[in-house]
Amino acid sequence: MAESPQLVEQKDFGDGLIYSVFNHENTGNFYFVKLKLSSQKWQLTPTTNEKGVRRCGTVKELALRYNPDAQISVNASFFDTAKYPIGTVAIDGEILSLDNRKRTSLGIKTDGSAIIDIITPRAFISSDDYFEPIWIWGYNQPTKKNAIIAYNSQNGDSVVNLPTEAEALIIENNAVEKKVDAGKVAIPKDGLVLIFHGKSKAHLNRFKTGSSVTLGLVMPREWENTYAMVTGGPRLINNARIVDLKDNTENFESGLFKPHRRTIAGLTWNDEVFIAVFPNPVTYENATEILLTLNVKDAMGLDGGSSSSLWVNDQKLFNGPKNVPVALSIVPRDTDKTKNPLPYFENKYWN
């Protein structure tokens, strides 16, 4: 067990939100924010650019776009060279990004509780005339051969260019508006465009113009009533035990496990959610050993390295060289936004 870090500075924002600067001989100064999940004043949420989930910004910009009274923000999702977030991003009950990867995710529920686990959320669409799931490979992702991709208003572009060997299904008000087989397809403000590529076009005959559809997300039962979600990884601490990363079960590139700047999120034994930022390069092993001394129960990695960033209102801290598509921000609680869960269906609903 590592020695406990020394407290350098602390600020109490009230109602369970505390920001601290610690120092440890193995890491130098690092930042630690914890928030009571029962707080009636504050909430933790992913935040993105108003122009779409692939439009990058500083963590400050993304937080203030969501709420101009935001207080704290860090970088969140990993993302690829085209700025597509890796894994799932959901805000206020809406899926912004999903790519069918099995990775560690953090979920926030409508009752204020939180959950961390390695999962693969699976999106689907079904016709109410023929209620069997047709699996959607991703939301707001590049076209994939023989797969179905969904695009909504969070895509960042108002139209989708229909690739060759593909057809589109336009959904509005949970009903089929029309089918399109060529050209550019406008994304409805409150609907979806589903691109069926290659062999997946065989499913199109199940959908008739005007017929009702069900859109859902299949997850383990523990994730029911989740309204916000962000994927990171790897899983670092599970029930106060450091996870052995040698097996690399989440298929990260080996370079991730070398010393880097780190952004980490998780839960404490005191029903708090925390975010920690290590601005100096550190291994996951060193970081997790230190976090255990701060009463941490569960923890997961978020993107780090040149993406690792922290903004605290009224203080100048640091932003990594890279702007990011998704942040994890602490903002004033808005009960209207936290009461709409994702369209959950239990894993065992279909065999």
Q: What is the mean pLDDT of the chain?
A: 94
State whether 30 and 83 are in the same domain.
yes
pLDDT given at position 348: 55
Residue 273 maps to a domain: yes
State whether 272 and 153 are in the same domain.
no
Take residue 259 and report the two structure tokens written for it. 């010393």
Take residue 275 and report the two structure tokens written for it. 């975010």
b/e 194-209 (16+ beta carbons within 10 angstroms → b): bbbbeebbebbebbee
Residue 89 maps to a domain: yes
State whether 111 and 235 are in the same domain.
yes
For residue 117, pLDDT beyond 90: yes
Residue 337 maps to a domain: no
Beta strands in 153-304 (DSSP E): 159-161, 166-172, 175-180, 184-186, 191-197, 213-219, 226-231, 235-238, 241-242, 260-268, 272-282, 296-301
DSSP readout, 248-259? Answer: -TT---GGGGSS
Model confidence pLDDT, tens digit, residues 315-333: 878 788 889 999 999 999 9
State whether 138 and 276 are in the same domain.
no
State whether 97 and 142 are in the same domain.
no
State whether 39 and 83 are in the same domain.
yes
Residue 16 maps to a domain: no
Cα dihedral 79, 80, 84, 90 sign: negative
State whether 91 and 207 are in the same domain.
no
Cα dihedral 41, 46, 47, 51 sign: negative
State whether 317 and 273 are in the same domain.
yes
- Domain ranges, residue 62: 22-117+223-242+261-332
> How many Cβ atoms are within 10 Å of 102's Cβ, its own excluded?
15
Residue 71 maps to a domain: yes
pLDDT given at position 347: 64
Characterize the bridge pairing of strands 213-219 and 344-346: parallel
As for how many domains the chain has, the answer is: 2
State whether 310 and 268 are in the same domain.
yes
Model confidence pLDDT, tens digit, residues 205-235: 999 999 999 999 999 999 999 999 999 999 9
> DSSP class of residue 324?
B
State whether 69 and 186 are in the same domain.
no
Mean pLDDT of 169-187: 94
Q: What stretch of H or E contains 221?
A: none
Residue 345 maps to a domain: no
Q: What stretch of H or E contains 75?
A: strand 72-75
State whether 148 and 86 are in the same domain.
no
pTM score of the predicted model? 0.95
State whether 112 and 133 are in the same domain.
no
